């Protein structure tokens, strides 16, 4: 499974639960989703470099931690799959 797919799956999981959350939590999810959808974020072009989605991964993992959704945090260890 590609990193882009995994990040999008986590965002969908967060979005599914958003209606029950407070405004601050919904804004955290919104910001993470907007960051992921923006191609001009961070230092790298998301789809043109091997590490282009690393910043998106960091933002989504941060959102998961802020929202106390440790179950959705994506492993960032050396064995994780890279975008191919």
- Per-domain residue ranges of the chain: 3-72
pLDDT digits (tens, 9 = 90+) for 31-81: 999 999 887 655 555 555 545 688 899 999 999 999 999 999 998 776 555
Please state the separation of Cα 56 from the chain's center in Å. 5
The arithmetic mean of pLDDT across residues 20-24, rounded, is 97
Report d(CA 7, CA 3) in Å as an integer. Answer: 6
In this prediction, residue 15 has a pLDDT band, given cuts at 50, 70 and 90, of: very high
The pTM of the whole model exceeds 0.85: no
In this prediction, residue 30 has a pLDDT band, given cuts at 50, 70 and 90, of: very high
Q: Indicate the SS3 state at residue 76.
A: coil
């Amino acid at each position: 499974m590609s990193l882009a797919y995994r990040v999008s799956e986590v965002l969908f999981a967060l979005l599914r639960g958003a209606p029950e959350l407070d405004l601050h939590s919904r804004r955290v999810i919104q910001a993470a989703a907007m960051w992921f959808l923006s191609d001009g974020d961070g230092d790298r072009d998301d789809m043109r470099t091997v590490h282009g989605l690393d910043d998106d991964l960091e933002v989504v993992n941060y959102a998961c931690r802020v929202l106390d959704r440790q179950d959705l945090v994506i492993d960032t260890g050396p064995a994780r799959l890279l975008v191919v």
